[in-house]
Chains A and B, each alone.
Chain A
Amino acid sequence: MGIFHSQGKQVTDSIQAKPFSAKKGFASLIVLLALFTWAFYPEIIRIITRSKLILNNVHIFLVPFAIAMFILVKKNTLRQCDTHGSAAGFLLIFLGCFCYAVAAWPFSFGYARDLAMVPVLAGILLLCFGRKVFFKLIPVFLFVFLAIPIGPRLTATLVIRPETYTLMASQNIMELLPNVTTELSGLDLTIYRSGTSNIVALGRTSRAFQLYFVYALIALFVFFTSNRTICKYIAAVIMTVPVIFLCNLARFLMLSAFTAYFNTSALSPISGTIAALLSICLAYLMFILIFNLKINLFIEDEPLCETGE
């Protein structure tokens, strides 16, 4: 009886202590986030400036909303978590600052410097709210990771293969349309129709492989806003990349169709924006469909009849 009584008292104590630890956690979080912003402001400003210039990075402005929405969706689960901070957070912050320093000297890699902010943020969260909240908020770090733009030279190297395949696939599909002929030369897909010729998205950087981080962000958001089984994790790992490629192909095909049938100017932002928005909607629908499909990998045996043989 005494044991039960003391256990009950401990539970009551922990419930009473929780609001205090959460308050302390929030206070620490605000201070540390302010210091984080001070420490990494050149990187933050660089990311914002770059995202204003390049359409491919425009999703960066949506990431804070995605994070806020994600936390809102997970509000009840997070409330139930123990919010005692973990000292291990300091190690993550140290690791992030160390990587930042090494990526500045002796090795000078801007992207690695930007990425170093992710472990620092993760460390701050772990330090303020502890392991349980940290693990529940892992998708938030993935959102932040996707918000960090890759430099133009690295992008130029990384997009070669997907861009080449997209251009070739688009050329083959466009050739199937009536009265349309195409010519592919490097990055230029020229479309000939009714005596006119237009190049699709002429002059745009990585024109045939854009918005891949936006599609990935949608995939992450759709996936992590519900609790998933291990089968869904496997399905997500297998399906996400092909769907990203497919949505990009759809975007470029729409752009090609606008160019062919409406003679839109290569420099016109309207056709590019419409194609981008439609492909984003397509990505959202496809990820909802894929992640909510019922996958029955294991078929349960029917229970044996009690009176059976």
Chain B
Amino acid sequence: MLKMSKHLHNISLILSALLLVFTATMLRGTIAKLSDYFTKQTVPARKPLKTFVDSVESIEKNFQWKDQAVTQEIETDDCFLIKFESQDQSVAKHGGYIHAAYYSQPGSKVPHTPDVCYRQAGSIIKEIQKIPINLSPVANNPETIDVTLVRLEQKEAEMVILFCFIAEGQIANSRTKVRLITSKPGNSRTYFCKVEASCSYPKGSAPKPYIETAGTLMERLVPKLLDEYLPTEEMLK
């Protein structure tokens, strides 16, 4: 018995040494080859996100933002940021911004989330949490997704931002989840999209109505992007 365990130990020592030699000599090369072979290709959006502002009927656009410096910083030019006042009374009271950016280059870095960016720009985080929103509130079979709520205090106002990512058709609310979805083998093409809806309000006001407004914006924005703009499952195969 003792002899057998000694043999087993010796075999384990040799196997371990071989495994480490394999890791040192061949593993990295093999991974590089696999990675090259299975690299996901880029896929264009069904419609460029830049055209989003033209197709939304229910909003009165105030302006469409397009700043070359910022598009360079966020590493894509297929994006929009629209300030609007809706004709819908529930949204019209507060107005807000919607923003989405589309990424499809293999190796694109997932951008920082608003909780990270707005702090660098001088905002103070008051609250971060996940909240559910209903994507089809009127349908019989509502689909609920979790988005991240960030509440910030700025110099002269407060702000609520709801954000999520859409990666290969799936909703994700963290950068890590986006990386996991886009790295997962299966599809031969990849994309991800960052979606945000935000509302500013005077300091000291109760945030609830503004969170609801931002939620309404997300409820309309996400299905519209999925149905009309972002690539379908077939396009990813």
CB-CB under 8 A from A108, the residues of chain B are 179, 183
Within 8 A of A (CB), among B122-179: 122-125, 128, 155, 174-175, 179
Say whether A75 faces chain B, with CB atoms less than 8 Å apart. no
The number of chain B residues with a CB under 8 A from chain A is 43
* B179 x A109 contact (CB < 8 A): yes
CB-CB under 8 A from B125, the residues of chain A are 160-161, 164
Choose, from B8-16, B196-204, B229-237, the stretch at the interface: B8-16
Residues on B facing A (Cβ under 8 Å)? 5, 8-9, 11-13, 15-17, 19-24, 27-28, 31, 34-35, 38, 109, 112-113, 115-116, 118-125, 128, 155, 174-175, 179-180, 183-185
* B124 x A156 contact (CB < 8 A): no
* A32 x B120 contact (CB < 8 A): no
> Given A97-B27, A109-B179, A186-B124, A160–B20 Cβ distance below 8 Å?
no
Residues on A facing B (Cβ under 8 Å)? 28, 31-32, 35-36, 38-40, 42, 84-87, 89-90, 93-94, 97, 100-101, 104-109, 120, 123-124, 127, 153, 156-157, 160-161, 164, 167-168, 184-188
User: Per a CB cutoff under 8 Å, which of B16, B122, B174 touches A188?
Assistant: B122
> Given A32-B16, A153-B112, A160-B119, A86–B9 Cβ distance below 8 Å?
yes
- A–B complex contacts, Cβ < 8 Å, 28 sampled: A35-B17, A35-B20, A35-B24, A38-B20, A39-B20, A39-B21, A40-B23, A85-B9, A85-B12, A86-B9, A90-B16, A90-B19, A105-B34, A107-B179, A107-B183, A107-B184, A108-B179, A123-B16, A124-B16, A127-B12, A157-B113, A157-B175, A160-B116, A160-B119, A160-B128, A164-B124, A184-B124, A185-B124
> Given A87-B8, A106-B38, A107-B183, A93–B19 Cβ distance below 8 Å?
yes
CB-CB under 8 A from A188, the residues of chain B are 122
> Given A87-B12, A97-B27, A186–B120 Cβ distance below 8 Å?
yes
* A101 x B13 contact (CB < 8 A): no
Closest approach, in angstroms, between the C-beta of B179 and any C-beta of chain A? 7
* A156 x B116 contact (CB < 8 A): yes
* A32 x B20 contact (CB < 8 A): yes
Closest approach, in angstroms, between the C-beta of A130 and any C-beta of chain B? 9
* B21 x A35 contact (CB < 8 A): yes
Q: Tell me which of B19, B20, B112 has the highest count of chain A C-beta atoms within 10 A of its own C-beta.
A: B20
Name A116's closest neighbour in chain B (CB-CB): B23
User: Per a CB cutoff under 8 Å, which of B9, B34, B35, B120 touches A187?
Assistant: B120
Name B23's closest neighbour in chain A (CB-CB): A39
User: Per a CB cutoff under 8 Å, which of B8, B11, B121 touches A186?
Assistant: B121
* B9 x A93 contact (CB < 8 A): no
Q: How far is the CA of A187 from the CA of B122 in the complex (A)?
A: 6
Q: How far is the CA of A106 from the CA of B35 in the complex (A)?
A: 7
CB-CB under 8 A from B184, the residues of chain A are 106-107
Name A88's closest neighbour in chain B (CB-CB): B12
6 smallest CB-CB distances across A and B, nearest first, come from A186-B122, A35-B20, A90-B12, A87-B12, A39-B23, A39-B24
* A89 x B12 contact (CB < 8 A): yes
Name A36's closest neighbour in chain B (CB-CB): B20
CB-CB under 8 A from B20, the residues of chain A are 32, 35-36, 38-39, 93, 97, 120
Name A165's closest neighbour in chain B (CB-CB): B125
Q: How far is the CA of A31 from the CA of B23 in the complex (A)?
A: 15
